Each structure stands twice: as structure tokens, then as C-alpha cells.
Amino acid sequence: MSVQQLTILGATGSIGLSTLDVVRRHSDRYQVFALSAASQWQKLADLCIEFQPTYAVIADPQYLPMLEQALAAHATQVLTGVDGLQQVAAHKDVDTVMAAIVGAAGLLPTLAAAEAGKKVLLANKEALVMAGHLFMQAVHDNGATLLPIDSEHNAIFQCLPAGYTHAAAAGVSKILLTASGGPFRTLALDAFAGVTPDQACAHPNWRMGRKISVDSASMMNKGLELIEACWLFNLTPAQVDVVIHPQSVIHSMVQYVDGSVLAQLGNPDMRTPIAHALAWPERIASGVAPLDIIATARLDFEAPDLARFPCLRLAFEAAGNGCASTVLNAANEVAVEAFLAGKLGFDRIAVLNEHAMQQLVDTTPSSLDQVLRIDREARRIAHQWLDHGRLRGDL
Ligand code: NAD
Ligand code: MG
């Protein structure tokens, strides 16, 4: 067994740190080649001192001098900017890239890894929602291996046959994408306007970064995951059912034409899908406690309520619909940032997203430049709506 050289994009985040926790248990299998962060140079420096990577990338250049100084006595070379991220994602010595940057910022480095034919462990769902067609093409054209980290998609991957290409050929009739329902699963519709950022980030089953926590609370996360599933597994939105399952023990299911339903179960801990993808097709210990099925006792299921969670409806409309998912992703990033900054009501996130989708009608983007242009335009429209809303005083 040769040692895998690993780049972790977004090493200081929730997924990045869980990845390093798994790697720490298997130093015979994985060597950290590069670690990256947006601005948290101190946290990145501490990780570099522990893991001694060849490169460290601080995306925001204003923190470069601090990181350089912190690592002056170490062999780790320090890079910055999107160029630096792309360089460590595509470097010839790298085998595996964990794509765990949050949001559209992850697209270019993750794409660089795919274009270099790497084994890409994809947590950064926004990259796929934004540019699914181009990303999947890059994976295909360059012989990259794409392994999903999102727990639902990792579960689906595990429940599909090896060598899967499309649903019909594999006898798959439906994908059942499970959702916890988030912290507001039972909240009355008229209470959504008063939700605070801390309430939205208090997820009942998972500890995650703030952006995905807000997305889980609005169920935009499940919407992004629907679009992600369509790209990863070559599906139409009609082939995916979202099922609310509050315990988050079943991570998703695959229904076959013969009536069989395969599910993947486990404790809600991202180290399971991370360890699965790192070792695939082998298995390694992840540090996750074994599932106690007796203590779990019951598994509940219900249908999602699209009236209380309009972001999920928007995602069903956007999936496979030209540039709509690029627009939805960009508008949602602006909306979540505004909500977290206390500048937008929680119930207005969907209103802003829908506004951007209605403004921007375009054909399926066929080049990276087009995707980036649509992303910029959607953000401009979203910011304009926020500015006007502030004037109207109705945010
Ligand atoms: P996080 O906010 O905890 O971490 C994000 C990481 O990205 C940090 O290291 C940060 O420094 C880096 N980053 C942020 N903006 C950047 C920029 N502009 N340029 C370069 N780097 C930047 O987020 P997270 O919860 O770890 O989520 C990461 C990704 O994984 C997201 O796409 C999320 O949807 C996905 N995901 C997360 C979980 C989870 O349990 N946390 C589960 C499934 C999928
Ligand atoms: Mg998920």
C-alpha cells in the first residue's frame, strides 16, 4: 500500500478538521501534502505545525505575512490566492483532494483537481450546484474519481452497484434523499420571521459551519443536495424524493425496480463518509461510535412541507433548468450572509432567492466564463434587492 498524498481545501472548517481527525488515526496511509484556509492563519499555522505539509495556502493575501512568520521555522511553503489553491489542488505529487471550501469560492480549486484527474472527495456541494455540467464533464474527460462526502450522497453511493452509470441500467426506480428537517421542522409558519442566526445554527443532529447550518434550517441545503444528487448520479429531479427523517440515522436510500430498498445507516458524524471516501474501495476505522440500533429504537418518516420550506420548492424548480441553479446558489449565498449579519429576516431568504431566479433567465451555461458571469449577475441582483428592501424598510 502506497501512502496517499492529500490536499485539504478548507482545512480549518468543520469538514476539514473532521478529515484531519481521520487522517491522524491512519498516518501509515495518508500524508498531508497541503492545507488551506480563507483567513484563519493562526488555526492553519497550528495544523501545519502538527501535520508538516509541503504547502499551506491562505486564500486572503492580507494574512500571508502572518502565516509566513508563524511558519518561518518550518519547511512548509506558504502560498496565497485562488492561484495558490489551484496549484495545491492540481499538483503532480497529489493523489487525493478533499474539497471542503464552503460556497462558490470552492469552484475553481475543485475544478482544478478534477481537471488534473485527481481523486476528488467532494464536500463543496455549491461547486456542483453552480457548474454541474462543466464539473462532471471535467471529471469524465480527465479520468478523475469523484467520491461524495455529503452524508446523503455518500449513502446513496454506498447503496448503488459498483460501476453505476445511470438509474435505468442499474434497475433503480427512486432515490430517497433523507432530511432531518433541521431545527424548525415543527415551527409554525408565522414564527419563521422572528428566527435568529443562533437559533438557525443550532442543528439538532449535526455540528457544521454556519452557512450550511442556515441552509439546513431553511431546507435550502436539501434543495442544493437534490441538485447535487442529479449531477452525481445522472438523475432527473422526478427520480428523487425528499423524505423527512428526524433521527438522521438513515442517511439516504435507493429503491430498486424489484421492490428492494437499500439504506445506509450510522451515527450522524461526518467522519464516517470521510473515512469511506478516503479509503474507498477499502474500509478504515473513522473514530465514530458504533450505531446502537436498540437505543435508536425508532425511525420516523414524513413528507416535507414545501409551504413552510419554500427554498426546497425553488430547488426542485431550478434542478436541470438552464442556469437557474447557478442563480439560486449565488442568491442564496448573499441571502445567508445578510441573514447571519442581522440584515435580512429568515423568512425573506426564499423571497430573495425567488426574486433572483425570476430576474435571470438564460440558457445552460456552456463555459466557465458564462457560469462566473451568471454568478456575478445573480449576486448583483440580490444585493440590489437588499438595498431596495432596506429603503422600503421591509427586510
Ligand atoms: P466551514 O465554514 O466550517 O469551513 C469552510 C472552510 O472553507 C474553512 O476552512 C474556510 O477557511 C474555507 N473558506 C471559506 N471561504 C473561503 C474562500 N473564499 N476561499 C478559500 N477558502 C475559504 O464549512 P463546513 O461546514 O466545513 O462546510 C464545507 C463544505 O462542506 C460546504 O460546502 C458544506 O456544504 C459541505 N458539507 C458540510 C457538512 C458538515 O457537516 N459540516 C456536511 C455536508 C457537506
Ligand atoms: Mg448532507
Same domain, 154 and 301: yes
CA–CA dist 114, 57 (Å, integer): 19
Do 139 and 161 share a domain, yes or no? no
pLDDT, one tens digit per residue, over 12-40 is 999 999 999 999 999 999 999 999 999 99
Ligand 1 atom nearest to CA at 17 = 26
252/224 same-domain check? yes
The pLDDT value recorded for residue 204 is: 84
Residue 278 predicted with pLDDT over 80: yes
In this prediction, residue 363 carries a pLDDT of 75
Is 207 a residue whose pLDDT tops 90?
no
Cell of 90: 492540481
Co-location of 129 and 194 in the same domain: no
Read off the pLDDT band of 362 (50, 70, 90).
confident
Residues 250 and 107 in one domain: no
In a domain, 316, yes or no: no
Number of the ligand 1 atom closest to the C-alpha atom of 127: 32
Q: What is the CA radius of gyration of the chain?
A: 20
| Torsion, Cα of 159, 218, 133, 282 (10° steps) | -30
Query: DSSP for 213-255?
Result: HHHHHHTHHHHHHHHHHHHHHT--GGGEEEEE-TT--EEEEEE
170 and 120 fall within a common domain: no
Query: In angstroms, what is the span from residue 204 Cα to ligand 2's centroid?
Result: 14
Mutate to test the pocket of ligand 1, among 102, 126, 216 (most ligand atoms within 8 A of CB): 102
Is pLDDT at 393 greater than 70 in this prediction? Answer: no
Q: For residue 122, give the ligand nearest its CA.
A: 1
The total number of structural domains in the chain stands at 3
185-199 average pLDDT score = 95
User: Above 70 in pLDDT, residue 58?
Assistant: yes
Residues with a CB atom less than 6 Å from ligand 1? 10-16, 37-38, 40, 59, 100-102, 105, 123-126, 150, 206, 208-209, 211-212, 270
pLDDT of residue 366: 86
Residue 346: the pLDDT is 97
Whether residue 301 sits in one domain with residue 162: yes
Please state the atom number of ligand 1 nearest to the C-alpha of residue 101.
Answer: 7
CATH number of the domain where residue 355 is located: 1.10.1740.10
Candidate from 101-110, 145-154, 254-263, 383-392 with smallest mean pLDDT: 383-392
Residues 294, 331 share a domain: no
What is the rounded average pLDDT of the residues 179-204?
A: 94
Q: Is the pLDDT of residue 46 over 90?
A: yes
Q: Which residue among 114, 148, 182 closes a domain? A: 148
Q: Same domain for 229 and 124?
A: no
Distance from the alpha carbon of residue 248 to the mean position of ligand 1, in angstroms: 21
User: So what's the pLDDT on residue 2?
Assistant: 87
> Which residue's entry shows cell 452497484?
161
Instruction: State the pLDDT at residue 141.
Output: 98
Q: According to the model, what pLDDT value does residue 205 have?
A: 86
Higher pLDDT, 79 or 206: 79
pLDDT at 364 over 90: no
The reply to whether 302 and 154 lie within a common domain is: yes
pLDDT tens-digit series, residues 123-182: 999 999 999 999 999 999 999 999 999 999 999 999 999 999 999 999 999 999 999 999
Question: Rounded to whole angstroms, how far apart are CA atoms 210 and 342?
Answer: 14
Examine the pLDDT at 361 and tell me if it is beyond 80. Answer: no
Residue 25 forms part of a structural domain: yes
Task: Note down the domain range covering 215.
Answer: 150-306
At which residue does the C-alpha cell 439516504 appear?
252
The contacts found for 371-378 with CB under 8 angstroms, 24 or more apart, are: 371/107, 371/130, 371/131, 371/134, 371/323, 371/326, 374/323, 374/326, 374/327, 374/330, 375/104, 375/130, 375/326, 375/329, 375/330, 376/330, 378/326, 378/327, 378/330, 378/331
User: Distance from the CA of 258 to the center of ligand 1, in angstroms?
Assistant: 39
pLDDT of residue 394 exceeding 70, the answer is no
Statement to judge: residues 110 and 223 lie in one domain: no
Q: How far does residue 201's CA lie from ligand 2's centre (Å)?
A: 15
Residue 207 alpha carbon, nearest atom of ligand 1: 40
For residue 9, being part of any structural domain is answered with yes
Contact 41, 67 (CB under 8 A): yes
CA distance 282 to 263: 19
